[in-house]
Homo-oligomer: A and B are copies of this chain.
Amino acid sequence: MKCRVCREPAVLDIRRHNAAFCRDHFVKHCAEQVRRAIKDHDMIGAGERVVVAVSGGKDSLALWDLLVDLGYRPDGLYLGLGIGEYSEASGHAARAFAQDRGLKLHEVDLATDFGYDIPRAAAATHRAPCGACGLSKRHLFNAVAVEHGYDVVATGHNLDDEAAVLLGNVLRWETGYLGRQHPVLPATPGFARKVKPLYRLGERETAAYCVLRGLDYQVEECPMAEGNRHLGFKEVLDGLEDRSPGAKAAFVFGFVDRAHEYFTDDAGEEREGLRQCVVCGSPTTSGVCAFCRLRERVGTRAEHSQ
């Protein structure tokens, strides 16, 4: 197996590209995919300020590293979820990465700053923890970005993540969600732009990138995500990819290139119905935003309302 570029021994093959790469050219391949994602979708304009949502896992550390490498000066934002040892190790990886490189890392801790953590939210809502976790992340990544004047929030969603979410949305024809699923969600009043520069790289590629670059990431998967339906969709898609290499990329890129546009009106209609949350002032389609409703359910809104 030889590198497609230099014919030296390869360290990794990527079946969907029908190509293998040596260490250096694999790292370049990753940077090229991210550069292309940013360029194709105008993710980051000249001089814009970027904050990376950093979990300490392979995707977010690879993203932060790649954005630095491509010449952006992104800061990081770590959100403490309070999921026992998993969160401790994740926070440690994020802090160590930032410290080693002299990068700025914002930290928000759910327990300290908002009086709840994800296990407590899951217990209070009697629902899968991933719902409360995703809601908390979306709200706080945006709130911190707006508060500190960042133009762009970059998240580490990779090709596998996007394919799994897309499959879930398509299986139920969630047309509003389909209209909002895109590598770029434009800025709107109260919302910073959201971008996913890794959407062209599979999770096997982001993991290999971290290993080859010597990035010390949190290897464990979140213990609370077990049984999550997106993990089931990932298995389904892995099976399809096995039979037909490139299936995931065709699914996600085909959607982005040819189908997403059909659904944008549905997302637009929801956006037009936005007003301010009466508790925290965030944009919301109802009187009280979902984040403040979550805090009310876990019983911490009164003490901590902003």
The interface-forming segment of A64-72, A120-128, A140-148, A258-266 is A258-266
- Whether, in the assembled complex, A134 has its beta carbon less than 8 Å from a beta carbon of chain B, the answer is no
The complex places the Cα of A247 from the Cα of B170 at a distance, in Å, of 11
The complex places the Cα of A87 from the Cα of B257 at a distance, in Å, of 43
Q: Specify which chain B residues have a CB less than 8 angstroms from the CB of A150 in the assembled complex.
A: none
The complex places the Cα of A236 from the Cα of B243 at a distance, in Å, of 12
- Whether, in the assembled complex, A278 has its beta carbon less than 8 Å from a beta carbon of chain B, the answer is no
Beta-carbon contact of A243 and B250 below 8 Å: no
The interface-forming segment of A171-179, A198-206, A296-304 is A171-179
Give which listed residue, B243, B250, B254, contacts A232 with CB less than 8 A.
B243
Q: Specify which chain B residues have a CB less than 8 angstroms from the CB of A173 in the assembled complex.
A: 250-251, 254-255, 257-259
**For chain A, what secondary structure do more than half of its interface residues adopt (helix, strand, loop), or is it mixed?**
helix
- Min CB distance, A178 to chain B, in Å? 8
Question: Which range holds the interface residue count of chain A?
Answer: 20 to 34
- Whether, in the assembled complex, A240 has its beta carbon less than 8 Å from a beta carbon of chain B, the answer is yes
The complex places the Cα of A247 from the Cα of B251 at a distance, in Å, of 19
The complex places the Cα of A259 from the Cα of B262 at a distance, in Å, of 9
Give which listed residue, B175, B232, B236, B251, contacts A258 with CB less than 8 A.
B175
The complex places the Cα of A247 from the Cα of B173 at a distance, in Å, of 11
Q: Specify which chain B residues have a CB less than 8 angstroms from the CB of A45 in the assembled complex.
A: none
- Whether, in the assembled complex, A186 has its beta carbon less than 8 Å from a beta carbon of chain B, the answer is no
The complex places the Cα of A63 from the Cα of B169 at a distance, in Å, of 32
- Whether, in the assembled complex, A268 has its beta carbon less than 8 Å from a beta carbon of chain B, the answer is no
- Min CB distance, A94 to chain B, in Å? 34
Q: Specify which chain B residues have a CB less than 8 angstroms from the CB of A244 in the assembled complex.
A: 229
Beta-carbon contact of A250 and B170 below 8 Å: no
Beta-carbon contact of B236 and A239 below 8 Å: yes
Contact with B along A241-252 (1 / 0, CB 8 A): 001100100110
Q: Which of A251, A258, A262 lies at the interface centre, i.e. has the most chain B CB atoms within 10 A of its CB?
A: A262
Give which listed residue, B172, B236, B262, contacts A263 with CB less than 8 A.
B262
- Min CB distance, A247 to chain B, in Å? 6
The complex places the Cα of A232 from the Cα of B240 at a distance, in Å, of 8
Contact with B along A219-249 (1 / 0, CB 8 A): 0000000000100100010011001100100
Beta-carbon contact of B240 and A236 below 8 Å: yes
Give which listed residue, B175, B229, B247, B263, contacts A171 with CB less than 8 A.
B247
Q: Specify which chain B residues have a CB less than 8 angstroms from the CB of A171 in the assembled complex.
A: 240, 247, 250-251
Residue contacts A-B, CB under 8 angstroms, 10 given: A171-B240, A171-B247, A171-B250, A172-B254, A173-B254, A173-B257, A175-B259, A232-B240, A236-B236, A262-B262
Which A residues are closer than 8 A to B by beta carbons? 170-173, 175, 229, 232, 236, 239-240, 243-244, 247, 250-251, 254-255, 257-259, 262-263
Since A170-B170, A173-B255, A232-B243 are in contact, a sample of 6 more A-B pairs with Cβ atoms closer than 8 Å, ordered by chain A residue number, is A171-B240, A172-B251, A172-B254, A173-B251, A173-B254, A236-B236
